[in-house]
Copies of this chain bind each other. A is one copy, B any other.
Amino acid sequence: MAGKSDKIKANEHVLFYYNRTKKWLVKITKNAKLHTHIGIISHADAIGKEYGSRLTTNKDKYVYLLRPTTYDYTMKLQHSTQIVYPKESGYMASRMGIQSGQTIVEIGTGSGALTTFLASIVKPRGRVHTFDVDADFMAIAEKNIARAGMTKYVIMNKMDIRKSRTVPVADADAAVIDLGDPWTALPQVRRMLKGSAPMVAVCPTMNQLEKLVSELVANEFTDIECSEQILRQIEAREGKTRHSFQGIGHTAYLCFARKAYFGTKRRRTAKDPD
């Protein structure tokens, strides 16, 4: 059933999967060996095997050979900044209706985890325009994006877009802000977005949410909605199904909004709807 493309070749990335907490994302290199607590794995042994098959270590344990998804790339990302995790990035995509072909603006590239995920959706015709001021982050992000094969769908801009007189993007379909002070980017984000287009900001604290919401109103955004996404693992086993003992803690709150035009005749008052 499986086509030829399912055989692992040298230089492909493979996820060696032992269990949920023990897994390794490697680039298959002919003579390389991976040393783990469950034994040694020779890369060469994986070559020619079907994706999904098992490989036995020298300690008689086995790993599954999995084709990495963007999820795997994210979870195994090299990062020097707090990244946006799948529990948030997935909801961003569904809440904003991100789809293939769109032009997305991202303020704050960070380590490129979210950039990669967004690019994987908007490709092949859409683009993610990402902005960051930090050259070191940009270098790491570039590597991460390349590893996941998304380089040609991402335009990286090493600049402080907030201080720029002109903006390099127009009619963007959506925007993401991942900055400590997301409100500072609102005027430029607004300039780059299409009318009624959605945006989201990633906010680690409640104070950021609060300040951002005020600034969104001041910048003529509507449909403002803040939320948090909680992911709870469930251990489903015959006769002893329960939630995981391991709690999943806070990562970030999200604040969504859409670009509007409030007009000039009438000022918004407290009695107006959201």
Residues of A within 8 A of B (CB): 1-3, 5-6, 17-20, 22, 50-54, 61, 64-74, 86-87, 89-101, 117, 120-126, 170-171, 191, 194-198, 204-207, 209-210, 212-214, 222-223, 225-251, 253, 255, 258-263, 273-274
Whole-angstrom distance between the Cβ of A83 and the nearest chain B Cβ: 12
A207 partner, pick from B5, B98, B241, beta carbons under 8 A: B241
In the complex, which residue of chain B has the Cβ closest to the Cβ of A114?
Answer: B94
Which residues of chain B are within 8 angstroms of A70 by Cβ–Cβ distance?
Answer: 94, 97, 99
Q: Is the interface of A mostly helix, strand, loop or mixed?
A: mixed
User: What 10 new A-B contacts, CB under 8 Å, besides A91-B231, A124-B125?
Assistant: A52-B196, A52-B261, A64-B222, A64-B258, A72-B97, A206-B241, A210-B238, A225-B233, A228-B234, A243-B250
Are the C-beta atoms of A120 and B97 separated by less than 8 Å? yes
Are the C-beta atoms of B247 and A246 separated by less than 8 Å? yes
Are the C-beta atoms of B240 and A207 separated by less than 8 Å? yes
Q: How far is the CA of A17 from the CA of B258 in the complex (A)?
A: 11
Whole-angstrom distance between the Cβ of A29 and the nearest chain B Cβ: 20
Are the C-beta atoms of B17 and A223 separated by less than 8 Å? yes
Are the C-beta atoms of A230 and B227 separated by less than 8 Å? no
Which residues of chain B are within 8 angstroms of A64 by Cβ–Cβ distance?
Answer: 196, 222-223, 258, 260
A18 partner, pick from B61, B87, B226, B273, beta carbons under 8 A: B273
Whole-angstrom distance between the Cβ of A74 and the nearest chain B Cβ: 8
Are the C-beta atoms of A226 and B230 separated by less than 8 Å? no
Are the C-beta atoms of B194 and A212 separated by less than 8 Å? no
In the complex, which residue of chain B has the Cβ closest to the Cβ of A235?
Answer: B226
In the complex, which residue of chain B has the Cβ closest to the Cβ of A153?
Answer: B100
